[in-house]
Amino acid sequence: MELKKNDIFTVKITDMSDDGSGIGKHQGFTWFIKDTVAGDTVEASVMKMKKSYGFARLQKILQPSPSRTEARCATARRCGGCQLQEMDYKAQLQFKENKVYNNLCRIGGLDDFRNLSSQGTWTMEPIIGMENPWRYRNKAQFPMGRSRDGRIIAGFYAGRTHDIIENHDCLLGAEENKAILDIIINFMETYDIEPYCERSHTGLVRHVLIRKGFSTGEIMVCLVINGNTLPYGEMLAAELAKIPGMTSICCNLNKEKTNVILGKKVYSIYGPQYITDYIGHVKYQISPVSFYQVNPVQTKRLYRTALEYAGLTGNETVWDLYCGIGTISLFLAQHAKKVYGVEIVPQAIEDARRNALLNHMENVEFFVGKAEEVLPEKYEKEQIYADVIVVDPPRKGCDPTCLDTIVKMSPQRVVYVSCDSATLARDVKYLGERGYQVEKARCCDMFPMTGHVETVVLMSRVKD
Ligand code: SAH
Ligand 1 centroid to residue 329 C-alpha, Å:
12
- What would the pLDDT profile of 98-149 be if each residue is shown by its tens digit? 999 999 999 999 999 988 777 778 999 999 999 999 999 999 999 999 998 9
Asked whether 441 and 456 are in contact (CB, 8 A), the reply is: yes
Q: What gap in Å lies between CA 429 and CA 436, rounded to an integer?
A: 9
Ligand 1 centroid to residue 345 C-alpha, Å:
8
Asked whether 347 and 327 are in contact (CB, 8 A), the reply is: no
Neighbours of 187 (CB within 10 A): 22
Q: Give the residue, out of 289, 344, 373, 401, with the most ligand 1 atoms within 8 A of its beta carbon, to mutate for a pocket test.
A: 344
Residue 419 CA, closest ligand 1 atom number:
5
- Whether residue 20 is predicted with pLDDT greater than 90 in this model: the reply is no
Q: Which residues pair with 461 in a beta bridge?
A: 436
Which DSSP string do the residues of 382-428 spell out, in sequence order? H----SEEEE---TT---HHHHHHHHHH--SEEEEEES-HHHHHHHH
Residue 323 amino acid letter: C
Asked whether 209 and 252 are in contact (CB, 8 A), the reply is: yes
Summary mean pLDDT of the chain: 95
Three-class SS state of 349: helix
For residue 391 and ligand 1, the question of a CB distance below 6 A is answered with no
Q: How confident is the model at residue 433 (pLDDT cuts 50, 70, 90)?
A: very high
Three-class SS state of 437: strand
Q: How confident is the model at residue 27 (pLDDT cuts 50, 70, 90)?
A: confident
Which DSSP string do the residues of 120-157 spell out, in sequence order? PSSEEEEEE--SS-SS--SEEEEEEEE-TTS-EEEEEE
- What would the pLDDT profile of 59-82 be if each residue is shown by its tens digit? 999 999 999 999 999 989 888 789
- Whether residue 28 is predicted with pLDDT greater than 70 in this model: the reply is yes
Ligand 1 centroid to residue 343 C-alpha, Å:
6
Q: Give the residue, out of 289, 343, 415, with the most ligand 1 atoms within 8 A of its beta carbon, to mutate for a pocket test.
A: 343
Atom 12, ligand 1: which residue's CA is nearest? 324
Atom 1, ligand 1: which residue's CA is nearest? 323
Residue 299 CA, closest ligand 1 atom number:
7
Atom 10, ligand 1: which residue's CA is nearest? 322
- Is 419 among the residues known to form the active site? yes
Position 464 scores a pLDDT of 65
